[in-house]
Structure 1
Amino acid sequence: MTEPTRITDLKDLKAALQLAIGVELSTIPVYLTGLYSIEEGRNTDAAQTIRSVVMEEMLHMTLAANVLNALGEVPSPEPVDFQDHRNLSPIPAYPLDSPLISGIGTLELLPLTPQAVDSFVRIEHPLHGAATLSDIPVEPGGFRTIGEFYDAVDAALSDPAICPDDIFAPVRQIPDSDYYGGAGHVIEVKDRATARAAVLKIIDQGEGLPEEYLRLPAKTVTDADRLGSGWQMYSHYARFRELQTGRRFRTDQSADQNPEGSMLLVDYSAVQPALYTPRNGESDGSPEGSALDTFDLAYSQLVDSLYRAFAGEPTKDVDPLERNADRERPSLRRAVHAMYALKNTAIALMRTPNPAKPGHTLCPRFSYVPPGGDRDKLVQHVEGRGGQYR
């Protein structure tokens, strides 16, 4: 079997962490499309499961950004060079075939269907559904699995020859107080130990789960992985396996078994029949095209907001629950609020009939349009249509 790719210098380590932010981002639209397709008030257990995973993916992005900042590099959506790969974009475009991680397969935007849930499980499985690691082909400078990728990041962080002790500094750190809505905590990175702890948290909660963890109790939960409500945030893989099989894990079962606990029924008929169509140039000028453009603009601005937060750009955070609500702080909270606001636009799309495909509705494209000429055109078009689909 080909030896795993190793990260051997600081330049590649920084590029890998830029791409790690993108790896975590790439799963969020996949899960949100399934979540937003659920009819209001239906499949509440499935919705809670998917929502909890999405919020933890936001945590993982933040952890990777904190590590990158501590190494003196500002998180950026710009393409990077890594190993034999040139101009790898951290920002996903769907359908996505990762040039970095071969085993993950094609990431598609689908409503909540058995096929979609199968893809959730494949993403979070340590081997992405393969029987053995050797069954997964790999390109030079790439990785078979997300776990292999994070192992290489952790190994590089552990090596003083790659990142000496004096390179770590607690700069542009997102504080734990800015994260909410999911399990786990933001780790502010100040040294090698906290950098590795941040990467380990990503591995433990979700993608990167070591294969041997499948033989541990499926509902392994630490105090750090509980919500105040008592909701147990065990691994993403185990949570999605419960959706896939329609049953909860018993507390005495391991993650590699079929769940045999209480029923967790998913009604796939209570889902909007959204059909994804990729962005293809400028809008066709139709009301439906304008609605899709409005969503793409909102999503692009959300991604920009996340990166501004990760880059430590302060904003006035007006929070009536805080005494010093007018202070300047990193804007992660605003970005999270924007993600929640995006839900309404997505739901409106998924209730709009697709004129080109009878029996289907529109589907959010989660198409990122970079700032510049194309973004300016998109803004002008959306504003020219009144800023929303009417």
Structure 2
Amino acid sequence: MTRSTPVSGLSELKAALQLAIGVELSTIPVYLTALYSIREGRNTGAAQTIRSVVMEEMLHMTLAANVLNALGETPSPEPVAFQGHRNLSPLPDYPLDSPLISGIGTLRLLPLSPQAVDGFVRIEHPLHGAADVREIEPGSCGYRTIGEFYDAIATALKDPAICPDTVFRHRNQVPDTQYYGGAGHVVEVRDRSSALKAIRTIVDEGEGLPPEHLEDEAKKVTTEDRLRSGWQMYSHYARFRELRTGRRFRTGQLAGQEPEGALLPVDYGAVHPALYVPRNGDSGGGPETAALIEFDLVYSRLVDGLYLAFSGDRTALPTAVHGMHALKHRAVALMRTPLPGDPAHTLCPRFSYLPPGDREKLARQAGELRRQSR
């Protein structure tokens, strides 16, 4: 891998970690849209794969937040200044073309489909589908891959001139006991060593996997990567390759090879045909628009709850986890609702974060739309 654009100081390192939380958050709605589009009781293997990755993305958000807290900075959804940009937001807005990482491509909210799974594989591929990192045009921030971005963070964490030992504090850490589901463990960060361990966990499990790891065994796991059920939580890239090919990796196969093991059937017909319509698009008004707004309100409160948890509120994370269940029920209800004017499709959740100052007005709008439809 070519050398990534360096992080120049402690304040820029903190901004990078704020954006790292956002990088992990940005993939979750992409995966959840596909997961929630699966009709009840169908595609159980695919659902298990996607759900397992989502839970680990939650873990990765938590790990990045713990590192940031240990550096004395509180995780925040507010825009940051980074690499010459004055207002980079950690919060995704779909369809998303990342200003931070050029190679990742456009992140779209799609039901489970070959196009969606191709997108998953591209996100998690070490070079986002390119054969060589030099094929990727650098973006304005200088990072072509997620791996380059995390490499810059790790390099800065190793540098005592940027991160002296005295800057690390064991503060506002989310403990492992509050992490729900998936493999891996939360690392409580108290020094340089534990900070680097947290970043390595993010990279090894998911995005940021170095290209040379394609020559590793696809199903390479540690004791921490095995669930009690026996499910092996190997890299996100390998799991999504299995989903795309419809086969599991055999033991001993390399991550860069085509899976040749047991069948993993995926029925793309057993999926709600949801179609994403942006907030400024025409969704027809009425109760359908109200339902979309109400989903965004629930999602926004969920994101707020996660940031509260990352800021030291021990009661916020369990509440946020329960909020995810409410979000799922609303998403499934949307995906069962015909899109006005296009009965071949159904509504698709937008996962649009609403600024707190706009929420009361939008809640009133949703209520009025429901009253008008009675």
Query: TM-score category by the smaller chain?
Result: over 0.9
Shift of 1:358: 2.6
Shift of 1:346: 0.2
Going from structure 1 to structure 2, the CA distance change for 1:159 and 1:282 (only over 3 Å counts) comes to farther
Alignment counterpart, residue 348 of structure 1, candidates 303, 324, 333: 333
The correspondence of residues 274-353 of structure 1 with structure 2, limited to 5 A, is 274-280=274-280, 285-313=285-313, 329-353=314-338
Shift of 1:356: 2.6
Q: Quote the residue 1:375 is aligned against.
A: 359
Shift of 1:334: 1.4
Which amino acid in structure 1 is aligned with residue 73 of structure 2? E
Aligned: 1:152 with 2:152:
yes
> SS of the counterpart of 1:360?
strand
Distance 2:279 2:180 in 1: 32
The correspondence of residues 1-390 of structure 1 with structure 2, limited to 5 A, is 4-280=4-280, 285-313=285-313, 329-372=314-357, 374-384=358-368
Going from structure 1 to structure 2, the CA distance change for 1:245 and 1:284 (only over 3 Å counts) comes to closer
Q: Any idea what the Cα deviations from partners look like across 1:221-272, whole Å, max 9, x if unmatched?
A: 1111111212100000000000000000001100000000010010000000
Shift of 1:341: 1.8
Distance 2:261 2:2 in 1: 40
Distance 2:222 2:214 in 1: 16
CA contact (8 A) 2:37 2:111 kept: yes
Q: TM-score, normalised to structure 1's length?
A: 0.93
CA contact (8 A) 1:174 1:330 kept: no
> SS of the counterpart of 2:353?
coil
CA contact (8 A) 1:70 1:190 kept: yes
Q: Any idea what the Cα deviations from partners look like across 1:285-339, whole Å, max 9, x if unmatched?
A: 41110010110000001000001111113xxxxxxxxxxxxxxx24212111211
> SS of the counterpart of 1:81?
strand
Q: TM-score, normalised to structure 2's length?
A: 0.97
Cα-Cα RMSD? 1.8
Shift of 1:380: 2.3
Higher helix fraction: Structure 1 or Structure 2? 2
Q: Any idea what the Cα deviations from partners look like across 1:27-50, whole Å, max 9, x if unmatched?
A: 000000000000000000000000
Distance 2:114 2:276 in 1: 16
Moved segments of 4+, more than 4 Å:
281-285, 383-387
Shift of 1:381: 2.7
Q: How many residues align?
A: 373
Distance 2:174 2:133 in 1: 35
CA contact (8 A) 1:5 1:140 kept: no
Structure 1 alignment gaps of length 5 or more: 314-328
Shift of 1:140: 4.1
Going from structure 1 to structure 2, the CA distance change for 1:275 and 1:62 (only over 3 Å counts) comes to same
Distance 1:91 1:139 in 2: 19
CA contact (8 A) 1:99 1:142 kept: no
Q: Any idea what the Cα deviations from partners look like across 1:10-29, whole Å, max 9, x if unmatched?
A: 01100000000000000000
Which amino acid in structure 1 is aligned with residue 93 of structure 2? A
CA contact (8 A) 1:352 1:362 kept: yes
Q: Any idea what the Cα deviations from partners look like across 1:320-376, whole Å, max 9, x if unmatched?
A: xxxxxxxxx24212111211221000000000000132300000000000111x122
Q: Any idea what the Cα deviations from partners look like across 1:60-105, whole Å, max 9, x if unmatched?
A: 0000000000000000000001011120000000000000000000
> SS of the counterpart of 1:60?
helix
Distance 1:378 1:127 in 2: 40
Going from structure 1 to structure 2, the CA distance change for 1:155 and 1:127 (only over 3 Å counts) comes to same
> SS of the counterpart of 2:40?
coil
Going from structure 1 to structure 2, the CA distance change for 1:75 and 1:29 (only over 3 Å counts) comes to same
> SS of the counterpart of 1:359?
strand
Distance 2:179 2:2 in 1: 39
